[in-house]
Amino acid sequence: MAEDRSAKSRNDLYSRLEKVLGGGLQYRIHHLSTRPTKSDALFAAPPAQRPQRTHCESHLLTLSITSPSSSSSTSNSTSSQTQGRHVFVFAIEVLVYTTATLTTLFVSKADSTGFLSRTPSHTRQSPIRPLTSTFLTWLAETRQRPGIPLVVSLFARAQDQYLFPGSVDHGAKHVLDDRQLVKWWCKTLDPVLRCPTTDDSYTTRAHVIVPGFDYHETTQFFPPTCRSDPVDNRKWRHGHPLLDIAPNPSAPPRCLVPHFPDDPKARYLDELDAEIPDSQPSQTFFSPSKKGNGMWKSIRTLDQFWDTMAFRQECSSGRMVGFIWLVFTPTQPSIQSLEDTVTHLTPATSFNADDLLGADLIFSSQESLGQTEEVSRASPRKTSRRKKLSGPIVPRQPQIKSSSSNVSSRSDKTISKEWPEEGRGQIVLEHTSYSRVHDLLLRLDFSNADTATSSTRKWLAEVAAISNPTADWGKEVTGSNQLAHPASFTKSSQVNDISGMLVRKKRKNTEDRAQAPAAVEASAVNILSASMIRKKPKVNNNT
């Protein structure tokens, strides 16, 4: 049943991608994912508390086409040869962080090779944006948990290449600058925000922060669809939702900012944590000792943190970085999330189930209700003195107390065991194997069509060797979106009509010139020479 649900979920993804890809074009999709493994907490814990137990799973989706250098290959090739004739054109990596109170989808990397524009059947509308929106929407739907908020987070920073080394060297790759990249991501995430399946059970909001930009300067990055929203219910807003998604909003500022890998604000957090007394740089996720209060010396509030981010190296010197969040807040929170919220606010009231069992045994040994109240008010030291232990000692396995963490052991087991079958990749790797193939992709060469085709074949063969899947993994998809072609043709036809009108205006001059009996060029020259000769005799006659 698990495999059936997983295969059904993948087929749903493929059918969605077919609808957004260019009609009549052949694509190949490869989807990798990992099992949820324990990772460092996204939010630092308040003083005298432990961080939330967090699990992370990675997803890597690639889109490939037939290589331009292998267009002359025979059509009756085997599956392995067909796979070897493909070249990557786009890839996106998403990290899914799961805790007992929050699900976070962090877009780690997204990159293209530029070979899509070199294909003979390339359309004017690139499929990269609708593919990214569709994949993130599908992944958010499969990772939604009833009553638990979900966040899609990313930071937009323009670079020449992220996942495909050398792809910027062949010249066909279109690299966006900082402003264009932030606008591109806002337009890409807007369909995810307006997903129709989340209208009833979730309240959706998008938040954007560009360090160094005020409210009016930030609104220029919002997608055009935000203009149709009601004035009192704007989907896109300037600011951050950290106070809404943090596990403990009353904690110090360092406990409210998430710590993602390769994130500019994460590096800034590491530098600010050095200001905390009695803190160790190697354990930035753990709170300081009881002597410290978990506060920075230079930064006291979140507003100061974002103001100083504008002077960071990634955000200054002419560079611009955008932080974007999509927050899906459930209309009815789950009971577990409410219990965890109470536990975070009052951690001292947590207790162990074994203590309740011992109390029940003591209560049952009393004869009257008055004696029970006296024993309940008595201190633990007096109770231990009255009771004498006797008999053989029977060893037992140690039990983990629920008070040792902000999240109960039951919640941690639920996160690790309830891994949904929906939303998994075609190949599921362990974390070490995924890191191996991920590092291999960053060492390959995509500087031209031949080397890119060879690198694609090498990477796919490495994944097949590690996971031992079927003979030919991946999914052949034929695009069915016919709107891309007519849209481009309609625009071109309109341009032709306008140019035709302009040509007609020019033809009036040519028709006037064509009234001469001789050829067009000769008549033009004769008319000019005749006019010049007429002017001269007039001057001579007057004299």
Q: Own/partner pairs for 294-298, CB < 8 Å, 24+ apart?
A: 294/44, 294/46, 294/47, 294/251, 294/252, 294/254, 294/255, 295/252, 295/253, 295/254, 296/252, 296/253, 296/254, 296/272, 298/272
pTM score over 0.75? no
Q: How far is CA 318 from CA 119, 161, 212, 213, 309, in A?
A: 35, 19, 11, 13, 14
263: annotated active-site residue: yes
Residue 173 and residue 112 in contact, taking contact as beta carbons nearer than 8 Å = yes
Chain segment 325-369, per-residue pLDDT in tens: 999 999 877 655 555 544 444 333 333 334 333 334 333 334 444
CB 426 within 8 A of CB 475: yes
Which residue among the candidates 111, 263, 273, 340 is catalytic per the annotation?
263
Other beta carbons within 10 Å of 110: 19
Rg of the Cα atoms in the chain: 33
DSSP 8-state code for residue 481 = B
Q: Are 467 and 460 in contact (CB under 8 A)?
A: no
Mean pLDDT of 146-162: 92
Number of other residues whose CB lies within 10 A of the CB of residue 398: 6
Token pair 């077919």 in the structure block, residue: 18
Whole-angstrom distance, CA of residue 417 vs CA of residue 12: 24
What is the torsional sign of CA 214, 42, 266, 436? negative
* Tens of pLDDT, residues 455-509: 999 999 999 888 876 557 899 998 887 654 433 333 333 333 333 333 344 444 4
- Note the pLDDT of residue 77: 46
Task: List, in sequence order, the alpha helices (H) in 324-446.
Answer: 335-345, 353-364, 369-377, 380-386, 409-417, 431-441
The two tokens of residue 346 are 């009052």
Biggest CA-to-CA distance, the chain: 148
Amino acid in position 148: I
For the chain, what is the mean pLDDT? 75
Cβ atoms within 10 A of the Cβ of 367, count?
A: 7
pLDDT band for 223, please (50, 70, 90 cuts).
very high
The structure tokens 């007394």 sit at: 277
Task: Specify the pLDDT at position 90.
Answer: 95
pLDDT in tens, 258-281: 999 888 888 899 888 888 875 444
Can you name the residues that pair with 39 across neighbouring β-strands? 54
**Secondary structure letter of residue 51 according to DSSP:** P
Helices 431-441 and 449-467, interaxial angle, to 10°? 170
DSSP letter, residue 52: P
pLDDT at position 335: 58
